[in-house]
Structure 1
Amino acid sequence: MSTVSTLDQQLIAAAWKNDVTEARRLINAGANVNAVDDTVQSAFLIAASEGYVELLDLTLQHGADVRSLDSYRGTALIRAAERGHAAVVGRLLQAGVAVDHVNRLGWTALHEAVLLGKGTPQYVDTVRLLIAAGADRNKPAERDGITPVQAARSQTEVAAVLATKLPSSPTAALLAAAAAGDANQVAAALAAGAPLESRDDNLRTALLLASLNDRVEVARLLVALGADPDAQDDRQDSAWLVTGVTGSVAMLETLLPAKPDLTLRNRFGGISVIPASERGHVDYVRRVVRTGINVNHVNDLGWTALLEAIILGQGTKPWQDIVRILVAAGADPSLPDADGITPLHHATNRGYTDIAALLRSAGAR
């Protein structure tokens, strides 16, 4: 007979529905994120098994017991690994869940990710995360003695992760692999002891090097492990800021779960939307304005993204599109530069008639 309270029962029901708003209300009212029902399910364990990242974060913020076990005597990490919920696996590893815990079936999280996984990209990411966290790839299962390495032989990409040797110089290997896009080597370097926030001679972290070179697989791994998207190098570049230079929407999406500081400034006092507008990265600008970034931010030159798109752009369709996107996102079409010259005057002086017409239709003077 379960002794779970009514509030706790309601929280477990809300967790199955992934109703984060209701779960937050119930927790604030006193529901326990660790309370289990007759099937040994808690809000925390449900969030892990179902891949509900926001709900998981909520439970962790409110005292989730990362040592709690389900009816198979397995951890939340094992449940998430079985289903290939890489983002959840990363959070649980950061929270300190034991990586090599063995459940009632005699398996670790790595065993489950390999034996019950399908070798798809989400499981490859999961295996990389577990390896990076130090999972024992040669640990035999308690019942049949099979190791993760042996179990992965029919899964080419997973097998490649498990076959990657630990480097003798972990930090150097981490930084080189991040720049080259070798996610398997990045995982091995971390497993060998390389600090996640290692820096090169220019103070560039592995995540910054991955972002500079548009190595999305590597960045996804590092972000899941908690790498800092705001760590700046000796040029004041960060992983997030350089996405505005490269224009990589894929990298932008990869870094957003890390909650980058959208107000962080580069060496010119600008934020990511400004170099993107200057360089004509239309798709990037279209996506980044949806983050709530300040489209009227003024850099040290006295220019906004709109002014840079006009002053340093070419007046052709990409920059016309960017002007249109920025204005629609709330950019002030009359905000002048440090010398008092407005975007309309800059466009007119450069003969950018289409952009000038766009600005006039937006009420610019």
Structure 2
Amino acid sequence: MNKLMQDLLGIILSLVSVRDQPWAVCKAWHRLVRSRPDLMASILVLDRLLEFPRSSLDDDMSFALDEAIWRGFHDTVRKLLTSGLVAADYDGGAGLNIAAVKGHTDIVTLLLDWPVNAPRADCGHGQALVSAVQYGHLHIVRMLLDWPVNAPTADYGDGKFLGHAARKGHLHIVRMLLEWPVNAPTADCGCGQGDGHALVSAAQNGHIDVVTLLLEWPVNAPRADCDDGRALVYAAWKGHIDIVRLLLGWSENAPRANSLDGRALVFAARNGHIDIVRLLLEWPVNAPRADCRNGNALREAARNGHLDVVRLLEWHRERTDTL
């Protein structure tokens, strides 16, 4: 124990004779204690040993455990849980979720293995798994899915875990979920938001490796034009020309360049993505008209000051009018 902790605990011990809410006195060091979960653990355990009333620190117990888990203080977490001052499944499994966010595999294991009031691996509708997926912690994703009791299913929520992994571009997790031996999500699942949502999310966020993996998946692959071509629309909106080109040129069920009455062109023009605007206008099949959607692409480009896009649209409109 370092000198700072020894000094503070010494002061606390000197308050043993204070019987009228002694913890209220101790809270003079409240800020320091809250910033030091290891010290908090020692204080709370001391409180139990001295049988002091602790009503004024009740709210801080879960906070101390939150902080200890967040910082990866395995021994402090164990100390707090052993004291019985806070349950392993406190706040509906909040600690498990924090450990999953931070990638602390040892603390995830400690909480799930705790002999009393352990959190369920699928607590909070699988929130710990969602967090592990979003932050790319493959080892924790595998642990939660493979937990022997109350494990979340890989296809829960119409594949929402797959959707999160695709949105974040975690190719290794996308592949693992699709290959999971029990209740695997389908590559074209809707994730609760429409057919092929994982593909749309990956396209919107520029993850061409995930887009390719999903489109090439041997079973239940999403159509490249799923959900009325929204993967193309969102890729164009975000400026991902490599994905726009990939989708337009896909060998089966490619989206039309004028999907949703040219919405991809409008979004690309709005954001000044001139290379995508040109690609769409010059696509050899089903190219959008430069004045599609009542000239909305031109208005959006002009309103946002994209003069090069305005000139390109005007040139194509005039060229079309003369044909």
Q: Which has the higher helix share?
A: 2
TM-score, structure 1 length as denominator?
0.44
Q: Which has the larger radius of gyration?
A: 2
TM-score, structure 2 length as denominator?
0.48
